[in-house]
Amino acid sequence: MDFADFIIEGAARRVSPSRGEIAPAFVIVAEGVGDMQAREALLDRAMGPKRRKKSSEKLRRGRRPSEGLAFVALGASGAVVGTVRLWDVTLGEGGPAALLLGPLAVEPGLKSGGIGSALMWHAIGEAARLGHGAILLVGDAPYYGRFGFSADRTGSLAMPGPYERHRLLALELKDGSLDGAAGTIKAAGRKVKALDFVA
Ligand SMILES: CC(C)(COP(=O)(O)OP(=O)(O)OC[C@H]1O[C@@H](n2cnc3c(N)ncnc32)[C@H](O)[C@@H]1OP(=O)(O)O)[C@@H](O)C(=O)NCCC(=O)NCCS
């Protein structure tokens, strides 16, 4: 399957009852430095303080997201209402490169409006367009299965800390990119520099 076909521009639209016109309910854009505070506040609201204790955090801490693979959903007022980022990892010592997706989060009051799906399809499409071979994540298969993720190819892989094995899911963007992948997933992203926080 060619996931580049699924790139979403603009996402869902709604009718404005007062003006009778079609207006975008949200748009998905590349995350900017100015979105950082709003993104962190949204993650706290959506996931709570324990989010920083997840094993995935070990693969993200002190790293920058993969080039061109951090997105926010902006609501009609311009507020950040969704976030997703992808991170460079290697699969085992000296193993193939891949991406780790997460966290994915949507403003709690706006759940089930399609923002999460739009962020996912956009992220998958952009990762494919940029030539990446596979995306991994730790999450619920009943949700991520709709985007093609499954635990079928992750049995020989491990997170660098506690996690539930059946929740380690993967999606191949290029057929065979997870062939023989085994071992503990390692951070491989660009390191954060102090200047990254200057707007
Ligand atoms: C998971 C999340 C990002 C989904 O965003 P969203 O904008 O509500 O998603 P969508 O509108 O695209 O899809 C909603 C559908 O997914 C379902 N869904 C949401 N989370 C689910 C889960 N964990 N397992 C199974 N289905 C789930 C909803 O029930 C809904 O089903 P419906 O379409 O039949 O009504 C959002 O619920 C969220 O921010 N949750 C808190 C943070 C979180 O858990 N992030 C994932 C970490 S792995």
Range of the domain at 13: 3-187
Confirm whether 48 is domain-assigned. yes
- Work out the percent of the chain whose per-residue pLDDT is above 90: 81
Question: Among 104, 163, 167, which residue has the most ligand 1 atoms within 8 Å of its CB, making it the best to mutate?
Answer: 104
Say what the pLDDT of residue 18 is: 55
Atom of ligand 1 nearest to the CA of 107: 39
Residue 185 near residue 136, CB atoms below 8 Å? yes
The closest of 21, 105, 102 to 56, measured between CA atoms, is: 102
Say what the pLDDT of residue 198 is: 53
Residue 119 near residue 166, CB atoms below 8 Å? no
Nearest Cα residue to atom 40 of ligand 1? 105
Say what the pLDDT of residue 193 is: 85
The closest of 121, 127, 151, 157 to 139, measured between CA atoms, is: 151
CATH number at residue 31: 3.40.630.30
Say what the pLDDT of residue 133 is: 98
| CB of residue 113 inside a 6 A radius of ligand 1 | yes
Confirm whether 194 is domain-assigned. no
| CB of residue 47 inside a 6 A radius of ligand 1 | yes
| Assessment of whether the complete model's pTM goes beyond 0.85 | yes
Confirm whether 105 is domain-assigned. yes
pLDDT at 14 over 60: no
The mean predicted confidence, pLDDT, of the chain is 89
Measured between alpha carbons, how far is residue 52 from residues 47, 57, 60 in Å? 10, 6, 10
User: How many domains in the chain?
Assistant: 1
pLDDT at 183 over 50: yes
Atom of ligand 1 nearest to the CA of 139: 48
- Summarize pLDDT for 115-140 with one digit per residue, the tens: 999 999 999 999 999 999 999 999 99
CA dist., res. 112 & res. 115, Å (int): 7
| CB of residue 105 inside a 6 A radius of ligand 1 | yes
Output the CA 62–ligand 1 centroid distance in Å: 28
Confirm whether 193 is domain-assigned. no
| CB of residue 139 inside a 6 A radius of ligand 1 | yes
**197 pLDDT band (50/70/90 cuts)?**
low
Say what the pLDDT of residue 23 is: 58
- Summarize pLDDT for 31-44 with one digit per residue, the tens: 999 999 999 999 99
Output the CA 95–ligand 1 centroid distance in Å: 32
Q: For the chain, first and last CA: distance in Å?
A: 39
